[in-house]
């Protein structure tokens, strides 16, 4: 019986993060490390929420409403942002890579490039060494020629080749 209780306790510790959802996310945000990783926040209303320093790694934010949210230094690595509304969100110094999906909207001056959130100043992007070797500043609003807030592979290749 003791073994069953111990196994149950260990499994609870391992799978506890998957219990984070749109109705209890505040408990996880208020925990040590503001750990909301793997949180199921599909269609959550997080408008104007203060999520500064939140660890949203691998969270599901599909269809979430994040307009006006304060997301400074939030970690969006491997987060699903399909259909998420980030209009007017504050994204300074965010961590992002391998983002899944395409958000419904991003704050002015921000784009999703190869799974990474970048602003028009190039924040959060380290271009390849051979790109932009002439020293000209790389402006992503210029690369996003169709104005959809995302840079496609075709747009990237054109910019890289100077076309």
Q: What pLDDT score was predicted for residue 125?
A: 52
Q: What pLDDT score was predicted for residue 133?
A: 47
The Cα–Cα gap between 153 and 158 comes to: 9
According to DSSP, residue 36 is labeled -
> How many CB atoms are closer than 10 A to CB 100?
14
Q: Are 117 and 76 in contact (CB under 8 A)?
A: yes
Q: What pLDDT score was predicted for residue 63?
A: 98
**Exposure on the CB side of residue 84, measured as CA atoms within 13 A:** 31
Q: What pLDDT score was predicted for residue 13?
A: 45
The Cα–Cα gap between 147 and 163 comes to: 17
Low-confidence ranges of the chain (pLDDT < 70): 1-18, 122-140, 160, 163
Q: What pLDDT score was predicted for residue 120?
A: 79
Q: Are 138 and 122 in contact (CB under 8 A)?
A: yes
Q: What pLDDT score was predicted for residue 155?
A: 80
Q: What pLDDT score was predicted for residue 143?
A: 77
CA quadruple 104, 88, 79, 160: dihedral sign: positive
Q: What pLDDT score was predicted for residue 16?
A: 46
- Give the CATH fold of the 16-125+138-163 domain: Pectate Lyase C-like (2.160.20)
> How many CB atoms are closer than 10 A to CB 163?
6
């Amino acid at each position: 019986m003791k073994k069953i209780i111990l196994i149950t306790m260990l499994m609870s510790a391992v799978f506890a993060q998957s219990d984070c959802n749109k109705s209890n996310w505040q408990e996880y945000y208020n925990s040590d490390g503001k750990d909301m990783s793997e949180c199921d926040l599909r269609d959550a209303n997080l408008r104007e929420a203060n999520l500064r320093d939140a660890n949203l790694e691998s969270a599901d934010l599909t269809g979430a409403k994040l307009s006006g949210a304060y997301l400074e230094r939030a970690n969006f690595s491997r987060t699903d942002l399909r259909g998420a509304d980030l209009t007017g969100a504050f994204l300074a110094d965010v961590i992002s890579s391998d983002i899944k999906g395409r958000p419904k909207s991003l704050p002015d001056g921000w784009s999703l490039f190869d799974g990474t959130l970048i602003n028009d100043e190039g924040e959060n992007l380290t271009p390849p060494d051979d790109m932009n070797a002439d020293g000209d500043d790389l402006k992503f609003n210029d690369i996003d020629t169709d104005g959809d807030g995302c840079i496609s592979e075709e747009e990237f290749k054109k910019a890289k080749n100077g076309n």
